[in-house]
Structure 1
Amino acid sequence: MNSNMQSAQDLLQLAWQAQAAGQLDRAIEIYRKTLGLQETAPAWLGLGQCQLERKDTQAALAAFRQALALMPQSGAIRHMVDMLDGSRVPDRAPDDYVVWVFDGHAESFEAHLAALNYRGPQMVAGLIEGIWDRDGSRAILDLGCGTGLNAPVFKPYAARLDGVDLAPRMLQQSARRGAYDHLYKAEAHAFLRRPPCRYDAVLATDVFIYIGQLDEIFFISDQYLNKNGELLFTIELAEGAQPVELRSSGRFRQTDDYIRNLAERAGFVVVVTHDEALRIENGTPESGRAYRLVRR
Structure 2
Amino acid sequence: MFGRSFALLHLLVSPLSSLAVYWMDEASPIVLSAQEAINDEHVKKAMEYYDKAVELIPDVDKLEHPQEIKMATEIYHLAGLMYSYAREMGTVDKVGKESNLWQSVIYFEMATKVDPKYWPSYANMAAVLADVEESGNHLGKYEESLEAYGKAIELLESGEATDPPELGSGMRHTLGELHYRMGLNFVPGMFEQDSVGEVDYEIKLCTSRLGSNKPCQMLASNSFHTALQHYPGHQDAITALAIVTADATFGLTDPTHVRSLFDSYAVEFEDSLVGELDYNAFSRLRQSFDHAMANEGRSGYVLKTTVDCGCGTGLAGDVFRNVSETLVGIDLSPKMIEIAREKKVYDSLETGDIVERLMEHKPGEVSLIIAADAFNYFTELDELFAAMYRALAYGGYAIFSLENVPAAMESRLDEHAKDWRWQFQPSGRIAHRRSYIEKTLKSHEFDVALYGDLDGFRTEKGADVRGHMFLLKKNPPANMKLDEL
Name the TM-score, length of structure 2 as normaliser. Answer: 0.44
Decide which structure has the larger Cα Rg and report it: 2
The question of whether the paired residues in 1 share the 8 Å contact of 2:281 and 2:372 is answered with yes
Q: What residue identity is the alignment partner of 2:383?
A: E
CA offset at residue 81 of structure 1?
4.4
Gaps of 5+ in 1: 1-55
Answer yes or no: is 1:226 the counterpart of 2:404.
Answer: no
The total of aligned residue pairs comes to 233
Matched, 1:270 2:430: no
Q: Cα deviation per residue 1:253-290 (whole Å; 9 max; x = unaligned)?
A: 11110111111111011111222312111111001111
User: Is 2:270 aligned against 1:110?
Assistant: yes
Q: What is the aligned counterpart of 2:431 among 253, 275, 284?
A: 253
Aligned to 2:280: 119
2:371 matched residue in structure 1: 204
- List runs of 5+ in structure 2 lacking aligned partners: 1-175, 187-205, 224-243, 415-419, 476-485
Aligned pair 1:129/2:293, yes or no?
no
| Secondary structure of 2:457 counterpart | strand
Deviation at 1:180, TM superposition (A): 0.3
Residue 168 (structure 1) aligned to one of 328, 334, 357:
334
Aligned to 2:382: 215
Residue 149 of structure 1 pairs with residue 328 of structure 2: no
Q: Residues 209 and 156 from structure 1, CA distance in 2 versus in 1: closer, same or farther, beyond 3 angstroms?
A: same
Judge conservation of contact 2:252–2:428 (CA < 8 Å) in 1. Answer: no
Shift of 1:137: 3.2
Q: Which moved more, 1:179-188 or 1:130-139?
A: 130-139
Question: How far apart are 1:92 and its partner, in Å?
Answer: 7.5
Whole-angstrom distance in 1 between the partners of 2:216 and 2:358: 24
d(CA) in 2 for partners of 1:196, 1:185: 18
Asked if the contact 2:376/2:429 (under 8 Å) is kept, the reply is yes
CA distance in 2, matches of 1:150, 1:206: 10
- Note if 1:100 corresponds to 2:260: yes
Distance (Å, rounded) in 1 between the aligned partners of 2:460 and 2:304: 34
Among 443, 465, 475, which residue is 1:286 paired with?
465
Structure 1 CA distance, aligned partners of 2:216 and 2:392? Answer: 31
Whole-Å separation in 2 of the counterparts to 1:79 and 1:246: 14
Q: Note the aligned Cα RMSD (angstroms).
A: 3.1
Indicate if the aligned counterparts of 1:161 and 1:182 stay in contact, CA closer than 8 A: yes
> Quick one: structure 1 residues 284 and 268, their matched pair in 2 at CA, closer, same or farther if it must change by over 3 Å?
same
Task: Write the distance in 2 (CA, Å) between the matches of 1:196 and 1:223.
Answer: 8
Q: CA deviation at 1:118?
A: 0.3
SS in 1 for 2:312: coil
TM-score (norm 1): 0.70
Identity %: 23
Q: Is the 8 A contact 1:133 1:157 kept in 2?
A: no
2:354 and 2:466 map into 1 onto residues whose CA distance is: 24
Q: Separation in 2 of the partners of 1:289 and 1:139?
A: 24
Change (3 A) 1:222 1:254: closer
Q: Distance in 2 between matches of 1:177 and 1:134?
A: 23
Paired residue secondary structure (1:124): helix
Measured in 1, the distance between the counterparts of 2:360 and 2:394 equals 17
